[in-house]
Structure 1
């Protein structure tokens, strides 16, 4: 598997990974009707916009032969926390999860943030998502939580932070 900077032409593939990942990873956590109503074409429009956002939004994709199996997206922090960078999204297809690829994507993102002079990083994750253990194993500390709405469902997200930007 290779990691490369995402291009505008990756928008549909990124949307496919996001939707499929949500549908497999959030089954039982997020309302099934919401998961099944997720639209790859609608998400692709958003990803095209974000990919055009310029250097303030960093995206990398994981894959082989123009096939995208995962991605990481992030940039400047979007909340009032005393950190300076944030992973906005990191998703992998089920078949490539738990093989170290998420850590490789996070490392690539952290290196990009380091090159921009960033010193720290956060990521938000659904409270009941078992994948949050990966962040803890990589040295993150839980610093906050908030109530969010996904579809018609109220859930909690937790914020995990690295005070010193991890280069793993």
Structure 2
């Protein structure tokens, strides 16, 4: 399978939105409420990505047909939480059929390279605790630094997020 990784442009917002919504629905269906997943909107996500693409590092993975099948987004952290860490991997999503094929690493690499170019060497990522992708972050050397309740917690079910951190992202690749 041939895969092309490239920097996203505004035109990609629609494809990125579709991957994000579809991946949330396939990956988080036992983590997040059905109501939340049902109300996810391609149009709303597309609009959001139109705003995000120009101000962050966003990369897409395309299959042989030129369809976006995955994406990643990273940049300087927006919060004061975990002050030791200067950047965040905000999102990385890959359609279910393309997961576990090495595409995740290919999508993280250019984010890391962009951060290093900006002389930013530490990074965090927030991940649902029940997300199988926790193993992916551990394989990249991420260390668990925190465990938090999320707004997705309900009376019946507590949903936790793990925070993984890299003190030096130059060690990843």
TM-score computed with the length of structure 1 as normaliser: 0.92
Q: Confirm whether residue 51 of structure 1 aligns to residue 50 of structure 2.
A: no
In structure 1, list runs of 5 or more residues that go unmatched: none
Report the equivalent of 1:72.
72
Structure 2: which 5+ residue stretches go unaligned? none
Where does residue 166 of structure 2 map in the other structure? 162
Alignment check: 8 A CA contact 2:9 2:53 kept:
yes
- Out of 11, 14, 19, the residue aligned to residue 13 of structure 2 is 11
The aligned runs of 1:97-116 (5 Å cut-off) are: 97-116=99-118
Q: Is the 8 A contact 2:153 2:159 kept in 1?
A: no
Q: Does 1:25 align with 2:6?
A: no
More strand by percentage = 1
Q: How many residues align?
A: 165
**Structure 1 pair 47–151 and aligned structure 2 pair: CA distance change class (3 A):** farther
| 1:78 shift after superposition | 2.5
C-alpha separation between the residues in 1 aligned to 2:4 and 2:130? 30
Per-residue displacement from partner, 1:23-55 (whole Å, max 9, x unpaired)?
0011111111211221001110000011133xx
